[in-house]
Structure 1
Amino acid sequence: MKKLLLSLTLISLISTNLFAQFPGGGMGGMGGGRPKETTPLPGTAQAAPKGSAKITGYIIDSAATKAVEFASVALIVKATNKPVDGTVCDDKGKFTLAKVATGEYVLAITFLGYQSKRVDVKIVNKNDEIDLGVIKLSQTSQILQEVTVEGQRSLIEDKVDRMVYNAEKDGTNKGGDATDVLRKVPSLSVDLDGNVTLRGSQNVRVLINNKPSTIVASSVADALKQIPSDMIKSVEVITSPSAKYDAEGSSGIINIITKKNTLQGLTLNFDSSVGIRGGNMSLNGNYRKGNMGFSLGGFGRATYNVNGDFVNTQIAKSDGTSTTQSAATRNNGLFGSYQLGWDWDINKTNSITASARYGARNQSTFQDALSTIIKRTNGTNTSTIRDVETKDNSGTVDLNVDYTHLFAKPQQEFSLSAQFSRNDRKNNFTNIIRGVPDSLSRITNINPSYNQEATLQADYQSPIGKTQMIEFGGKGIFRQVNSNFTQIGNSGSLDYDQNIAASYFSYTLTTKKKYSFKAGGRYEYTTINAIQTAEGGTKTDINIPSYGTFVPSFNVSKSLKGGTTLKLAYNRRIQRPSLQFLNPNRNASNPSNVTEGNPNLSPEFTNNYEFTVNTFFKNTFLTTALFMRNTTGSIQSVRRTVEEVGKSPYILTNYENIGNEDAYGMNLFGNVNISNKFQLGGGTDIYYSKLNNNRDTKNEGWVASFRMFGSYNLTKGWGLQVFSFYRGRQVQLQGSQGGFGIYSLSVKKDFLNKKGSIGLGAENFFTPNGFKINNSIESSTISQTSTNTLRNMNFKINFSYRIGKMTFDAPKKRKKSVNNDDLKDGGSEGGNGGGGQQQQPAATPAAGGGRPR
């Protein structure tokens, strides 16, 4: 691998001022690092009489015994009742008030959804250090005609650099997988195959707990099926990543955060669900004693009775030959995921985390009585009936080790991360003509493949004064991809090695006038060695030149009075093709519609521009984002008619760097807490898409999707939630894909002081016969229309129970809060993305900088 040369100097970064009363409002910029000295509240710090005393403490939820992140803490002079200083808690619930003068004070603690609390504090000596220990806040509760009203956290939050969907607050997520959860997230869209798009682009990086996996690189859709919805805490959508993130992911990053527990003690959580379309079960345990924690968990999911049918008609424009196909379809699958996590705070400045995960999938798809009728203009018509079975099995191993060192200066950190990940996959199919025993009537394809990655990474960050931060680091990613395929007349293999060396620099500046700037640059150098082996063993070197990529990013934000924030962002991204695009295996499970990858693909490059306005007033949150995305060398599917001697004409789909793809659109989302019991929200994503292959093909049109949700908390632990989603027609280079809708209703009852719950869920119950999706393809050689029907009405029962008790012990030492966000993933259609800046769960590594896809 060639030596990487980097010289980066860039200025200014985003670090939006904190809204303390907005739930989970984020801690401002400073490079995503955890503040060790919390930020003064505006309007108080300058008025505070200065001394040498210090006041510290921890704010926790009295019922859930968990930290209340970012609660407001005001220091009030007891005699005058005027605030003279203040701060906000960090993500551990810790607050610190430094340089406090002697005197008698009242500490006023507030946070949305909680009862305010006042604590008397007396500073006698100028160097006193007052540790108030744990201070418990109770959720808002008032009795009105014997009805209890309780505060609740917003389902959707806007943080400094991301939109957050709090999945754990949505009861309709019980008994599903990550696919069901992502459909509810603003700006995201998930089709019926599980392919995810962000603002209309599938080139998105998907992370799990800030860490990618080779299962995601192979197929996002498959990875999502291995994550139970009950275990998802939140989903973060990052559309303008900073230079610290890997350059991949043209449209942005999706970071799935699973539930975590960093409290002391032992717990065991059991969740299960059974329905007419599938069922799942999970068991997860956590144990923490002192400065060491362990976690162990397992999850299994089965899908069954997923039935449908399709009708497809295509006409060859060269001679008018028409081909009509129809079949009944069935899908069954078994999915499993098992993980072991360990973390150890060696001392107040050093910590190690490690995790191991194994995921498995066994999925079968059937096309029963696949009827093919070919009508030629010369009158020679043919027809066949086939049975097709496709088996798609895989196993994935992820190993992570992370080390973090904290310096004496707050927010100064150094981290090292190492990861190994491997996905082994086998995709086979058998296609048999009914009633013909001859072996020539049987079409088979055996396609084992693997995707392996090893990563080493180092990151460093340090503040400059109180308003600036620098970050820099380096990373090496070493990938090996292999695909072997065996079929009659077309066997071979692909060996594809890709190495990436990267380094980055980022600078942050926050001003007194509530402006935040963040700018940076990342340089990545890529080398590729690819060999394709054809039938008979002939090897061909695929000449793909090495290339360097510089990726700049710039973000600026401004906090206005009244709870409004303005954000302006620009970034450049790269999208390298994944195995799903590269694999030269010719998949002919349907002989009339064949797909094939292209190992000669080049990466595509995207420029993203975004302007966002977020407003929070009274009980309403509203966000509006305008965006523009320009992509060159866009990787798109291209279809053409192939005629071979002795065979019927068929449509071949492969992938090419077609040219340009532009999108101009808007995301609009609103969320209102009508009362402490009743919450409504909804929004729309709409954009205009233009595709042009710089030859003779182009297409354009409007694309829109809509979502709505509501929740109502009844008395005595009962809750009701509804959700609906509609995805409109999708514009493609050679046609369009039809829209579809999904809706659900759930009711849940908590018992035994919320240790357990039981619930009922219903999905698409007004459409027992399923819904139809109409697709079309139009090119210079073919015209095709198809209708797919999916029957997905579902009823299910959910049950969960928690055993054990956790306690909150205020740490005696300065604790780490490392963000693992400099990450790389792959999309379901070969896409890749970045990372998040969220603290890691105890079950997974949590070192800064993170690991690649």
Structure 2
Amino acid sequence: MKSYSLLIAATLLAFSLLTPAQAQFPGMGGAAQPKALPGTAGDQSPKGSAKLIGTIVDSTQAKAVEFASIALYNKATGKAVDGTVADDKGKFALTKLVAGEYRALITFVGFRNKTIDNLVLANGQSLDLGVIKLSSAVKTLEEVTVTGQAALIEEKVDRLVYNADKDITAKGGDATDILRKVPMLTVDLDGNVSLRGSSNIRVLINNKPSTIVASSVSDALKQIPADQIKTVEVITSPSAKYDAEGSGGIINIITKKNSLQGLNLNVDSGVGNRGSMLSLNGSYRKGKAGFTIGGFGRGIYNTITKTNLDQTSEVNGVSTLTRQTGNGTSRGLFGQYNLGFDYDLAKNQSLTAGVRYGVRNMISPQDLVTQLFTNGTPSSISYRNVDTRNLSGTVDANIDYLHTFKPQQEWSISTLYSRNDLTNNFNADLLNSTGALTGRQKNLNGNVNQEFTVQTDYQTPIKKNQLLEFGAKGILRQVNSNYEYLLAGPTGEYTTEKNGTRGALLYHQNIAAGYTSYTYTTKQRYTLKGGLRYEHTFIDASTEEKGTLGIGNYGVLVPSVNASKTFKGTTVKLGYNRRIQRPGLQQLNPNFNTANPQNITIGNPTLRPELTNNFEVGLSKTIKKTFINATFFGRVTNNAITQVRQPSDTLAGAIVTTYQNIGRQYAYGTNTFANVAITSKINVGLFLNAFYTSLTGQTTNADGVAEDLTNTGINVSGGTFANAQFGHGWGAQAFGFMQGSQVQLQGTQGGFGFYTIGIKKDINNKKGSVGLAAENFLSNRFNIHTVLNSAQFNQVNDVYLYNRGIRLTFTYKIGKMTMDAPRKKAKSVNNDDVKSEGGGQPAGGGTPGGGTPR
């Protein structure tokens, strides 16, 4: 450890020689220091033996206010006689003071000034002011704090922050239950997330990526317990500091962290008719070192889905009508376990390390009955029992180092290794009309997605109102997919003969990136944040069948500009950025998934990235107790990665879904929401998302003929929520959401609704709580009606979901803690990267469990 510390010290010394002279940056959270106050270095004022000490904290969060300014004034003359700045624990001390009467002024950006009068000091005396609480200011230089709603929504120059830790209905649920309530986001019933109608988003967890998110956003969200989420950041206009990935934007989920000294253990549990959960999280902190350990397990059951499918296809002059019904269930176990360590190497240096393991075990059996009509005449009927297994195990390990030179001046090095072993298999039994087994099918698909990332970031203030940031990043990523399609008779071994197949994909994707970003804030409350990022991607891909795929390397230059102006309680924002969307594992995977042979899915390993230009204008205003935000946006995407469906030329009546870089997408719309603080303990919110979309492109149909595709329409969604706090620890919450039909390239996907209410009672001086929540309790089921079509096929799909639910939750905190000031932690890797399976576009009826096909 000694040699390691020496190495770090030598590196930091060399690096510090390159840094500009130190300067405060109050506009970005630093503190304005008193100028040449008497009693400071270089001043020759009389010295005494009195002393003044104290600790400054945030009145709302009981956390230390780092680097607040303290000025001491002579009460008689009104002149400043001394001053200092609090340390990173909020503590300060003024020494060698002359006896007399004084007043102290304490200031920090984002807080109201605090004056302490009638301070009488005597020689040799040490006067302790104790804990001094600063109240948050309603208005700050860079953001609008929602009056009466600060605990719910914050509006910043490049993002919206939704504070989720007040949600009492989500206990016992997962991250999807929280994200459904975040303005601008839409979460369908499979957990697929979209932002302003775009599913091409990047989801981070505590500013970190994970290969499990890269594989499937919806599956990853099911592994995050809702009651462990502190905030959700919706970054609609990412700066150059963020990876260029995610054409729709970035969602950053921040989980709850502990800055207490001592030992504690939190127990969260819930049981319901459709799911149960248990979570144990503990932490121990002593001095410079801290340890965290935790585990979360969730089981789902009694999830019933029924499907009806009518689809017509025409190939080579032969018309085939498919009528299919399906009855399915889903059950699964999800877990996440973590171990963390952090250590303060010095007062301004910290080292953080952690390991997280996530597991998913999802099983979806389904019984399918399929009847085919050829040119109007019944031709066959088949029975099929399918068992689909979606399993994964994910490991994330990180080591991060941070050196803080002074407020807003810091340098960090971050590393991350992430690996996801993903299995997506199915077994199918083929039956005749009497129920006798006539054959068997099996698809084995094992995937390994692993990546290693290293990045370094440096930021420094320039003068008092500017911030400069720059950094570099490298990602080494490898995807392996091995797949087999096996056949067997009623008995005997499986074989790849008789149209059975096997294959493999090897996909290397390495990325080198560099960026610079500049922020400028004026006294008139103008904020300008601009940046430039360059990323170069190196690809080496091959399949067992086709050999090297010959996908070329490519580079992209990504500019971003964000501006805001605050005046009289109103904030206006302008933003522009360019984004890139690389294909994800599910889009690339060439496995031929025939769990439902009438709706086949297959990836495309030759996909190229898509490029998107985003524009937005936002307006936020506080009117008495009401906060209103309206954003108008435009999005133009070239080379869009889109699901394309066409009839199979080998299997009668089947529709094949794949992915292609096809055409261009336009979207223009608005996101509007309002929060009303009816009283200090009751608030109500409303939100509405509406946009017009136009999709165009060209594909080749089953007959080898080029087909032009165009579709336009309006997408609308919205909802409302209400929160109330009552006496004696009681609280209540309600939420409702409705999603209208969504325009797709080849039709429309049906809408859906969701609602929930809950109550909670705090017990034992808020050490624990008991809650009850119910969802979709007014109806037994609801229908998602999807219509897809082209010149060669027409598909009508009805999925009936039975998700009426109720759950009882219990939480309790064990342990004794003392408050410690929050410390600067080492920054972590942000891989805002690769497109996920988040389209939320069911490819037709009969997919196992009724969910989105994989």
Shorter-chain TM-score bucket reads 0.7 to 0.9
Q: Which stretches in structure 1 are left out of the alignment for 5+ residues?
A: 1-26, 140-149, 832-853
Is it true that 1:248 corresponds to 2:259 in the alignment? no
Question: Relative to structure 1, is the Cα distance of residues 207 and 463 closer, same or farther in structure 2, using a 3 angstrom cutoff?
Answer: same
Cα deviation, 1:320-366, whole Å, max 9, x if unaligned, reads 32101111110000001000011111111221000000000100011
Following the alignment from structure 1 to structure 2, what is the Cα–Cα distance between the partners of residues 455 and 96?
43
Equivalent positions of 1:420-431 (< 5 A) are 420-431=417-428
Match of 2:261 among 264, 271, 275: 264
Partner of 1:468: 466
Following the alignment from structure 2 to structure 1, what is the Cα–Cα distance between the partners of residues 730 and 109?
25
DSSP 3-state at the match of 1:749: strand
Partner of 2:708: 696
Partner of 1:135: 132
Question: Relative to structure 1, is the Cα distance of residues 663 and 83 closer, same or farther in structure 2, using a 3 angstrom cutoff?
Answer: farther
Is it true that 1:744 corresponds to 2:756 in the alignment? yes
Equivalent positions of 1:666-705 (< 5 A) are 666-694=670-698, 696-705=708-717
Match of 2:103 among 88, 105, 113: 105
Q: Which stretches in structure 2 are left out of the alignment for 5+ residues?
A: 1-24, 42-51, 137-146, 487-499, 699-706, 840-854
Please say if residues 581 and 830 of structure 1, whose CA atoms lie closer than 8 Å, have aligned partners that are also in contact: no
Partner of 2:319: 320
CA drift at 1:404: 1.1
Match of 2:543 among 532, 541, 545: 532
Partner of 1:22: none
CA drift at 1:286: 1.1
Partner of 2:619: 613
Cα deviation, 1:227-262, whole Å, max 9, x if unaligned, reads 000111111000111111111000111000000011
Question: Relative to structure 1, is the Cα distance of residues 135 and 373 closer, same or farther in structure 2, using a 3 angstrom cutoff?
Answer: same
Partner of 1:565: 571
Please say if residues 162 and 238 of structure 1, whose CA atoms lie closer than 8 Å, have aligned partners that are also in contact: yes
Please say if residues 219 and 827 of structure 1, whose CA atoms lie closer than 8 Å, have aligned partners that are also in contact: no
CA drift at 1:617: 3.5
Please say if residues 213 and 825 of structure 1, whose CA atoms lie closer than 8 Å, have aligned partners that are also in contact: no
The one-letter amino acid paired with 2:550 is N
Cα deviation, 1:113-149, whole Å, max 9, x if unaligned, reads x999763475989xx999855335799xxxxxxxxxx
Following the alignment from structure 2 to structure 1, what is the Cα–Cα distance between the partners of residues 641 and 812?
46
Q: Which structure has the greater CA radius of gyration? A: 2
Match of 1:447 among 445, 448, 461: 445
Cα deviation, 1:32-91, whole Å, max 9, x if unaligned, reads xxx4x4258xxxx9xx99555699865446797445799999999968999999999999
Partner of 2:509: 498
Following the alignment from structure 2 to structure 1, what is the Cα–Cα distance between the partners of residues 752 and 682?
28
Is it true that 1:38 corresponds to 2:49 in the alignment? no
Q: Once structures 1 and 2 are overlaid, which stretch shifts more, 160-169 or 743-752?
A: 160-169
Question: Relative to structure 1, is the Cα distance of residues 185 and 822 closer, same or farther in structure 2, using a 3 angstrom cutoff?
Answer: same
Following the alignment from structure 2 to structure 1, what is the Cα–Cα distance between the partners of residues 359 and 659?
28
Equivalent positions of 1:388-403 (< 5 A) are 388-403=386-401
Partner of 1:816: 824
Equivalent positions of 1:530-609 (< 5 A) are 530-534=541-545, 539-560=546-567, 562-609=568-615
CA drift at 1:396: 0.2
Question: Relative to structure 1, is the Cα distance of residues 787 and 264 closer, same or farther in structure 2, using a 3 angstrom cutoff?
Answer: same
Partner of 2:654: 650
Following the alignment from structure 2 to structure 1, what is the Cα–Cα distance between the partners of residues 708 and 528?
44
Please say if residues 158 and 562 of structure 2, whose CA atoms lie closer than 8 Å, have aligned partners that are also in contact: no
DSSP 3-state at the match of 1:441: strand
CA drift at 1:520: 1.1
Please say if residues 216 and 825 of structure 1, whose CA atoms lie closer than 8 Å, have aligned partners that are also in contact: no
Following the alignment from structure 2 to structure 1, what is the Cα–Cα distance between the partners of residues 69 and 680?
20
Following the alignment from structure 1 to structure 2, what is the Cα–Cα distance between the partners of residues 799 and 122?
48
Following the alignment from structure 1 to structure 2, what is the Cα–Cα distance between the partners of residues 667 and 86?
47
Following the alignment from structure 1 to structure 2, what is the Cα–Cα distance between the partners of residues 294 and 616?
42
TM-score, with structure 1 as normaliser: 0.84
Please say if residues 697 and 733 of structure 1, whose CA atoms lie closer than 8 Å, have aligned partners that are also in contact: yes
Of all paired residues, the percent bearing the same amino acid is 52
Cα deviation, 1:680-733, whole Å, max 9, x if unaligned, reads 111111111110015511111111111211011111000111111111111100
Question: Relative to structure 1, is the Cα distance of residues 720 and 544 closer, same or farther in structure 2, using a 3 angstrom cutoff?
Answer: same
Match of 1:635 among 604, 620, 641: 641
Following the alignment from structure 2 to structure 1, what is the Cα–Cα distance between the partners of residues 610 and 82?
51
Question: Relative to structure 1, is the Cα distance of residues 72 and 702 closer, same or farther in structure 2, using a 3 angstrom cutoff?
Answer: farther
Q: Once structures 1 and 2 are overlaid, which stretch shifts more, 50-59 or 355-364?
A: 50-59
Match of 1:484 among 482, 485, 507: 482
Is it true that 1:417 corresponds to 2:424 in the alignment? no
The one-letter amino acid paired with 1:480 is Q
Following the alignment from structure 1 to structure 2, what is the Cα–Cα distance between the partners of residues 92 and 706?
43
Q: Once structures 1 and 2 are overlaid, which stretch shifts more, 292-301 or 515-524?
A: 515-524
The one-letter amino acid paired with 1:262 is S
CA drift at 1:463: 1.5
Following the alignment from structure 1 to structure 2, what is the Cα–Cα distance between the partners of residues 453 and 384?
44
Partner of 2:370: 372
DSSP 3-state at the match of 2:760: strand
Please say if residues 392 and 428 of structure 1, whose CA atoms lie closer than 8 Å, have aligned partners that are also in contact: yes
Please say if residues 245 and 821 of structure 1, whose CA atoms lie closer than 8 Å, have aligned partners that are also in contact: no
Following the alignment from structure 1 to structure 2, what is the Cα–Cα distance between the partners of residues 85 and 766?
67
Following the alignment from structure 1 to structure 2, what is the Cα–Cα distance between the partners of residues 202 and 756?
38
Match of 2:732 among 707, 713, 720: 720
Question: Relative to structure 1, is the Cα distance of residues 57 and 236 closer, same or farther in structure 2, using a 3 angstrom cutoff?
Answer: farther
Partner of 2:666: 662
Match of 2:292 among 290, 295, 310: 295
Question: Relative to structure 1, is the Cα distance of residues 633 and 107 closer, same or farther in structure 2, using a 3 angstrom cutoff?
Answer: same
CA drift at 1:478: 0.2
The one-letter amino acid paired with 2:621 is T
Please say if residues 220 and 826 of structure 1, whose CA atoms lie closer than 8 Å, have aligned partners that are also in contact: no
Following the alignment from structure 1 to structure 2, what is the Cα–Cα distance between the partners of residues 189 and 529?
35
Cα deviation, 1:509-539, whole Å, max 9, x if unaligned, reads 22222211121111111110011012xxxx5
Question: Relative to structure 1, is the Cα distance of residues 820 and 103 closer, same or farther in structure 2, using a 3 angstrom cutoff?
Answer: farther
Is it true that 1:208 corresponds to 2:220 in the alignment? no
Q: Once structures 1 and 2 are overlaid, which stretch shifts more, 386-395 or 55-64?
A: 55-64
Count of matched residue pairs: 768
CA drift at 1:411: 2.0
Please say if residues 400 and 827 of structure 2, whose CA atoms lie closer than 8 Å, have aligned partners that are also in contact: no
Please say if residues 687 and 718 of structure 2, whose CA atoms lie closer than 8 Å, have aligned partners that are also in contact: yes
Cα deviation, 1:197-216, whole Å, max 9, x if unaligned, reads 01111110100000000000
Following the alignment from structure 2 to structure 1, what is the Cα–Cα distance between the partners of residues 430 and 228?
44
Question: Relative to structure 1, is the Cα distance of residues 264 and 508 closer, same or farther in structure 2, using a 3 angstrom cutoff?
Answer: same
Question: Relative to structure 1, is the Cα distance of residues 661 and 810 closer, same or farther in structure 2, using a 3 angstrom cutoff?
Answer: closer
Q: CA RMSD in A?
A: 3.5
Partner of 2:534: 523
Match of 2:302 among 300, 305, 323: 305
Following the alignment from structure 2 to structure 1, what is the Cα–Cα distance between the partners of residues 691 and 106?
46
Following the alignment from structure 1 to structure 2, what is the Cα–Cα distance between the partners of residues 437 and 696?
44
TM-score, with structure 2 as normaliser: 0.84
The one-letter amino acid paired with 2:211 is T
